[in-house]
Structure 1
Amino acid sequence: MPDADGGGADEQPRLGRELRDAAIAAVAVAVCGVVLGLLWEQLAPQVPLISDGSAVYLKNSEGEQAVGADGWFALMGLGFGVLTAAAVFWWRRAGGIAVVIGLAVGAVLGSLIAWRLGVALGPTQNVVAHAKAVGPNKVFYAPLELRAKGALLAWPVAAMATLLALTSAFGPRDPQPPQHWDGWSAPKPPGDTPDQ
């Protein structure tokens, strides 16, 4: 129903535009998860294993490669959060809650896609079969895993923080109401008497 001033007539097209832009942002950001997954699989430290024919052991029991894989995912997620938020802000500078939700949903989906893709492209999950295939006393690598699932939130958190910072610094401002002096706000100068 239109407002008294006629402003409601274009609310439906505007809402449709915002929802379309939110969907585009969500899909575009989520697709970036493929890139993050590929990078994570290539850059994450691999955990070397060795088998004696009957059991599988860590080649270096003091290695920190497993923690490094989580750290790489989180750091790259932070970077992707900053980049995707900057891209969405540049594309849709007018803002709107729908675009913010689209960015958040896309970042969460992108993190999940990156995680599952990196694991799928990494070494096989069947460690026993892998050990048998390479033979005893040969080094092979453990499956890529994300042990700290909180790293999945690095991308959406960084995206939301970056978008908030960019919007507050460079976003559109609400128009300020005009300032009128009503004669009562400031004291009258001395000696000024009201007209009779």
Structure 2
Amino acid sequence: MELRFDEPRRPLRAVATVLGAVLALAVLGIPLGLLWAALAPDTPVLKTAEGAIYAEPQPEQPIAADGWFSLLGLAFGLFVAFALWFVLRRRRGPVGLLAAVLGALVAAPVAWQVGRRIGLATFDRLLATAPAGQAFSKPADLRAGGVDWVLGVLPVPHGNLLLPAFGAAVMYTLLAGWSRWPGLRPEPDPTEFSWVSAGTPAPPAAPEPPAPDATEPPRG
């Protein structure tokens, strides 16, 4: 039996793979938030003595902002699972699924915070300095999602912030279920790999049996 000294390092490699994927996907949350801010409409508000109020009794813009984030987040999760399925070919299985789900789960709050801050400084300035009765707009924000802090240190997303992770889990599971390889990883081509060492001579081939009509050689 051949000893492999790198076997204890395999769990560490799996952890490094998951952490690297999570960090990369967290960075991708930045363009996702910018895209959401560009597509989600701002909400018209009016300045009053008590603060800002909606310019319309029942505005549709906050609902549209939640809808755009839900659609973009779900599409982002599907894309993440599809991309990691091919990028992490050697880590297909639980490691790849964990990387996709955790990465999408971290990218969603990043996208939310990046998107909601586009134009927020202008809104805060107008809210503090504008006279009563002036109309301006409030940047997009989420009402159907957010982050709860457990014990003040552990952020737990909820609402439509969970949709990217849900989409990633569904897509990765479907890819694994429809995979034609039982082990999820492509089988190596037998013509490219040889398990026989180059220095080991090949065993001699066994002699072929004589044909049925062959003449028996004379015995001396």
What TM-score, normalized to structure 2?
0.67
Q: Aligned equivalents of 2:48 and 2:56: distance in 1? A: 14
Percent identity, please. 29
Q: Aligned equivalents of 1:49 and 1:130: distance in 2? A: 11
Tell me, yes or no, if structure 1 residue 103 matches structure 2 residue 100: yes
Considering only aligned residues, what root-mean-square deviation do their CA atoms show, in Å?
2.6
Q: Is the Cα–Cα contact under 8 Å of residues 53 and 132 in structure 1 kept in the other structure?
A: no
Tell me, yes or no, if structure 1 residue 164 matches structure 2 residue 141: no
Tell me, yes or no, if structure 1 residue 34 matches structure 2 residue 43: no
1:44-67 per-position Cα deviation (integer Å, ceiling 9, x unaligned): 111101235665332222321111
5+ residue gaps, structure 2, are 146-158, 185-220
More strand by share: 2
Quote the residue 1:20 is aligned against.
16
Measured after TM superposition, the shift of residue 136 of structure 1 is 4.4
In structure 2, the CA distance between the partners of 1:27 and 1:56, relative to structure 1 (3 Å rule), is closer
- Higher relative contact order (CA closer than 8 Å, sequence separation 6+): 1
Q: Aligned equivalents of 2:106 and 2:139: distance in 1? A: 22
Specify the code of the residue in structure 2 equivalent to 1:51: K
Measured after TM superposition, the shift of residue 7 of structure 1 is 7.3
In structure 2, the CA distance between the partners of 1:76 and 1:112, relative to structure 1 (3 Å rule), is same
Quote the residue 2:43 is aligned against.
47
More helix by share: 1
5+ residue gaps, structure 1, are 176-196
Quote the residue 2:109 is aligned against.
112
Q: Aligned equivalents of 1:16 and 1:131: distance in 2? A: 51
Q: Aligned equivalents of 1:171 and 1:19: distance in 2? A: 27
Q: Aligned equivalents of 1:69 and 1:8: distance in 2? A: 54
What TM-score, normalized to structure 1?
0.75
